[in-house]
Amino acid sequence: MGKAKVFVFAPDRPDRVGDTLDRLVAAGCEIIQGSASWDTPQGNSESEMVTMARGADALMGTSIRSSPITRRIMEASDRLRIVAKYTIGVDDVDVAAATDLGIIVTHAPTEANWGGVAEGTVAMMLTLLKKVRERDRAMKEGKWRDPALQGTYLGSRLQDGAKGITVGIVGLGRIGRRLAELLQPWRVRILACDPYVERARFTLHNVIECDLDTLLAQSDVVTLHVTLNESTRRLIDRRALAKMRPTAVLINTSRGAVVDEAALVEALEKGQIAGAALDVFEQEPLAPASPLRRLGDKVLLSAHMVTANRESGIRPGAIMAAKCVEAALRGELPDSIVNPEVLPRWQQRFIRKALIG
Q: 4: left (phi > 0), else alpha (psi -120 to 50), else beta?
A: beta
Active site residue 255: yes
- Sheet of strand 299-301, all strands in order from the earlier edge strand to the far edge: 208-209, 189-193, 166-170, 221-224, 249-252, 275-278, 299-301
- What DSSP state is assigned to residue 295? S
206 to 25, 178, 180, 183, 203: CA distances (angstroms) = 47, 12, 8, 10, 5
Residue 233, classed as helix, strand or coil, is: coil
Contacts for 139 with CB less than 8 Å, ≥ 6 apart: none
* Residue 130 to residue 91: CA distance in whole angstroms: 34
How distant is the alpha carbon of residue 150 from its chain centre? 32
User: Looking at 135, 284, 345, 349, which residue is catalytic?
Assistant: 284
* Radius of gyration of the chain measured on its C-alpha atoms: 22
Phi, psi of 223 (to 5 degrees): -125, 130
Q: Which helix (H) or strand (E) holds 8?
A: strand 5-10
User: Looking at 81, 174, 178, 304, which residue is catalytic?
Assistant: 304
User: Looking at 255, 315, 326, 330, which residue is catalytic?
Assistant: 255
Q: 20 near 12, Cβ under 8 Å? A: yes
Q: 107 near 336, Cβ under 8 Å? A: yes
Active site residue 284: yes
97 to 74, 94, 108: CA distances (angstroms) = 8, 5, 20
Write the DSSP string, 134-177.
HHHHHHHTT--S-TT------S-BTTTTB---EEEEE--SHHHH
Active site residues: 255, 284, 304
